[in-house]
Structure 1
Amino acid sequence: MAKVLCVLYPDPSGGYPPPLVRDGLPQLEHYPDGQTLPSPSAIDFTPGALLGSVSGELGLRRFLEDAGHELVVTADKDGDNSEFDRHLADADVVISQPFWPAYLTAERIEKAPNLKLALTAGIGSDHVDLDAAIAHGVTVAEVTYCNSISVAEHVVMMILSLVRNYLPSNRIASEGGWDISDCVSRAFDLEGMDVGTVAAGRIGLAVLRRLAPFDVRLHYTDRHRLPTEIEQELNLTFHESAAAMVPHCDVVTVNAPLHSETRGMFDDDLIATMRRGAYLINTARGLIADREAVVRALESGQLAGYAGDVWYPQPAPPDHPWRSMPNHGMTPHISGSTLSAQARYAAGTREILESFFGGTPVRDEYLIVDGGKLAGAGAHSYSKGG
């Protein structure tokens, strides 16, 4: 019997379960690159239901308990006396979401001698100390691609919301106003602008594809250059680095993993090289942008807007300056947790657990760390020691 410790965000304020908004979800055949969707032997949930909160349990309880395993689900993850820490000592598997991350630091991994698998229900495993996982033989896996398109759609929404000044205009209408001058004094067309992405992996490339019909000039930088046919198809301009790209862009979107090369990348110095009045979108990780530098750039007008749904820490404290800075379009970390995405990452979590408990290999594309080294998607996205 194994102990599975699952950390999920709290239930809705109005109680669980909330009513189903739609009857079912669209059926997808595969992901855009041909990768197949999660394929567990069965699921014990209704697609379109809220699965990512504590009572949703990712639809795992029946599956795990029928197999004789113990499932502990909690939202209490921070502090030395958290429920997460109390159960971690004898946990074999830890499941967490990027939207409500259980930070598996080196110290916590050291205190978890039974831990064999750290599983991200979603994508992005930077809340796990990967070097410590390597040192302790802990396998790290995530449900690759499950919510990449969800995030890409959120990026496009945020770009349009900032450039068109949608959020303040909606607020004016909601409050009974008709202040057209106030609405349009910061509104522009996206058409004709230069838009660049820092990283052009699954999310970044999906953003580029969705923006191409807007008749913008597209730029990108990535440690792995895209194939020539894709560059030609989308009329992309490649830059060797973010520093080389951002001076040429009106809009910059960050779609890179957090590691030593990207931590604090958007600081005062880099933002100062951007076009005055540019927009910065960050749905990657909060620590890629320097918190105070972003605030200063918005207050000075160097940035016309900043939008994102990633913070540090998560959840962000009530006094976090990104909640009150001017011209922002922040959301809680929700871009990859749509009900559509939840059905995929819940199914993918079960698929990984079925492989883990059944002694069969976990899909290579799901692996971040395995056998004491970076593996699969992790070997592509991260570097040891970073």
Structure 2
Amino acid sequence: MKVVCVLYPDPVDGYPPRYARGHLPEIEVYPGGQTLPTPEGQDFEAGELLGSVSGELGLRQFLESRGHTLVVTSDKEGPESVLDRELPDADVVISQPFWPAYLTAERIANAPKLKLALTAGIGSDHVDLDAAIKRGITVAEVTYSNSISVAEHAVMMILSLVRNYLPSHKFSEDGGWNIADCVSHAYDLEGMDVGVIAAGRIGQAVLRRLKPFDVRLHYTDKRRLPKEIEEELGLTFYETAQDLARNVDVVSIHAPLHPETRGLFNTELLNSMRKGSYIVNTARAQIVDRDAIVRALQTGQLAGYAGDVWYPQPAPPNHPWRTMPFNGMTPHISGTTLTAQARYSAGTREILECFFDGKPIRDEYLIVQGGGLAGTGAASYTADEDDQKS
């Protein structure tokens, strides 16, 4: 079979000859009891840069030893891209949320042999799920592999915004000592109301990490959490994201992108929030209205916006989020630490082993299978009901 793997480019100075740390902490099980990826083998050292082109997710030796062909590229944009040229006879396409190979309905139509669309990491909204359902393509992702990575990043961004860290660091870097400039936009997080949109694995991890900061915690989700978790964390539940947003100082977004969340944070909702609120978005950029966010920061309705998700990705140089005031934007990096890469690379191999050997793929890894939403996908995404087979 032919496997096309779309990864982000290598570092500008070349593939790293060495790393800051010589080892990674060993994690035996994810919170909640799910086991880590369990591939039959592994052809990389944990802590290596695996998510870039030269890293190849550590897959080449495994795939070629089984007689498969591996094509690795970062070139994914436009009809003349390597991705588009390789699609017609591709059996498997692997991508990452950080450098997504957008598998549109048109691209899927141009890939008649495609059987598996695999996300190395979490998030499959770069795949047209309705088109995949119609074609009977399996869509899978390495669930939970980088959930904690994203949660840590979100908490870091919340603190950075509220404490005005990035502008203060810039003053220091530039040789200044602008204390008044720094603190005129800085506050304590303690005592604030912090809300999470979607309390799945990432959202719950954020809530648990914020609890020691003595904040009041709020959440909304399609499924209410068990009473014991609400009591343990002191959570206040809201039926809708709109109700939550109006009653908190900080919003952290962790919902998947689907028709119900697309454009959720529009001008009307932003204007209903407390003046000087903060938003952190490590989920998907299109959950918020791009230009409405810019306007809210310019008027002061928002005191800060941070995130690592953009649309499209990579974002063009003139994207307004690069220069809007009080932003803490980064490239899409929260879920692709070297720690996370070791897990999602191992999970990618586990899924491929199951796929090639005709074994069941873990239910928690599945998004689409057998002509309908499946596994985690059935709990997290929505699709056109007419597309799903009975």
State the aligned residue count.
Answer: 385
- Classify the secondary structure of the residue corresponding to 2:80: coil
Q: Tell me the residue number matched to 2:172.
A: 173
User: Is this contact kept in 2: 1:18–1:50, CA < 8 A?
Assistant: no
User: Is this contact kept in 2: 1:12–1:18, CA < 8 A?
Assistant: no
Q: Tell me the residue number matched to 2:73.
A: 74
User: Is this contact kept in 2: 1:3–1:93, CA < 8 A?
Assistant: yes
- Report the residue type matching 1:371 in the other structure: G
Change (3 A) 1:125 1:326: same
Cα distance between partner residues in 2 of 1:183 and 1:219: 29
Give the fraction of aligned pairs with identical amino acids, expressed as a percent: 72
1:54-74, Cα deviation, whole Å (9 max, x unpaired): 000000000000000000000
Cα distance between partner residues in 2 of 1:248 and 1:303: 14
Cα distance between partner residues in 1 of 2:124 and 2:176: 44
1:271-313, Cα deviation, whole Å (9 max, x unpaired): 0011000000000000001000000000000000000000000
Cα distance between partner residues in 2 of 1:374 and 1:41: 27
Q: Tell me the residue number matched to 2:279.
A: 280
- Classify the secondary structure of the residue corresponding to 2:359: coil
When structure 1 is superposed on structure 2, of 323-332 and 169-178 the one drifting more is 169-178
The answer to whether the aligner puts 1:377 opposite 2:376 as a matched pair is: yes
- Classify the secondary structure of the residue corresponding to 1:279: strand
RMSD: 0.7
- Report the residue type matching 1:261 in the other structure: E
User: Is this contact kept in 2: 1:146–1:345, CA < 8 A?
Assistant: yes
- Classify the secondary structure of the residue corresponding to 1:368: strand
Q: Tell me the residue number matched to 1:164.
A: 163
After superposing on structure 2, the runs of 4+ consecutive aligned residues of structure 1 that deviate more than 2 Å are none
- Classify the secondary structure of the residue corresponding to 2:99: coil
Cα distance between partner residues in 2 of 1:258 and 1:297: 22
- The CA deviation at 1:18 is 4.2
The answer to whether the aligner puts 1:56 opposite 2:39 as a matched pair is: no
Cα distance between partner residues in 2 of 1:182 and 1:169: 8
- Report the residue type matching 2:155 in the other structure: V
Cα distance between partner residues in 1 of 2:137 and 2:366: 11
Cα distance between partner residues in 2 of 1:18 and 1:362: 35
The answer to whether the aligner puts 1:35 opposite 2:34 as a matched pair is: yes
Cα distance between partner residues in 2 of 1:362 and 1:111: 26
- Report the residue type matching 1:54 in the other structure: V
- Report the residue type matching 2:12 in the other structure: S
Q: Tell me the residue number matched to 2:388.
A: none
Cα distance between partner residues in 2 of 1:23 and 1:268: 47
- Classify the secondary structure of the residue corresponding to 2:43: coil
- Counterparts in 2 of 1:128-207, with a 5 A limit? 128-207=127-206
Q: Tell me the residue number matched to 1:211.
A: 210
Q: Tell me the residue number matched to 2:9.
A: 10
- Report the residue type matching 2:16 in the other structure: P
- Report the residue type matching 1:95 in the other structure: I
Cα distance between partner residues in 1 of 2:172 and 2:111: 53
Compute the TM-score of the two structures, normalised by the length of structure 2: 0.98
- Report the residue type matching 1:266 in the other structure: F
User: Is this contact kept in 2: 1:25–1:340, CA < 8 A?
Assistant: yes
- Report the residue type matching 1:252 in the other structure: V
Cα distance between partner residues in 2 of 1:288 and 1:205: 19
- Report the residue type matching 1:320 in the other structure: H
Change (3 A) 1:5 1:296: same
Cα distance between partner residues in 2 of 1:203 and 1:128: 21
The answer to whether the aligner puts 1:45 opposite 2:44 as a matched pair is: yes
- Classify the secondary structure of the residue corresponding to 1:150: helix
Q: Tell me the residue number matched to 1:84.
A: 83
Cα distance between partner residues in 2 of 1:18 and 1:51: 13
Cα distance between partner residues in 2 of 1:353 and 1:324: 41
Q: Tell me the residue number matched to 1:366.
A: 365
When structure 1 is superposed on structure 2, of 19-28 and 214-223 the one drifting more is 19-28
1:95-132, Cα deviation, whole Å (9 max, x unpaired): 00000000000011011110000000000000000000
1:184-206, Cα deviation, whole Å (9 max, x unpaired): 11110000000001100000000
- Unpaired segments of 5 or more residues in structure 2? 386-390
Q: Tell me the residue number matched to 2:101.
A: 102
- Unpaired segments of 5 or more residues in structure 1? none
- Report the residue type matching 2:194 in the other structure: V
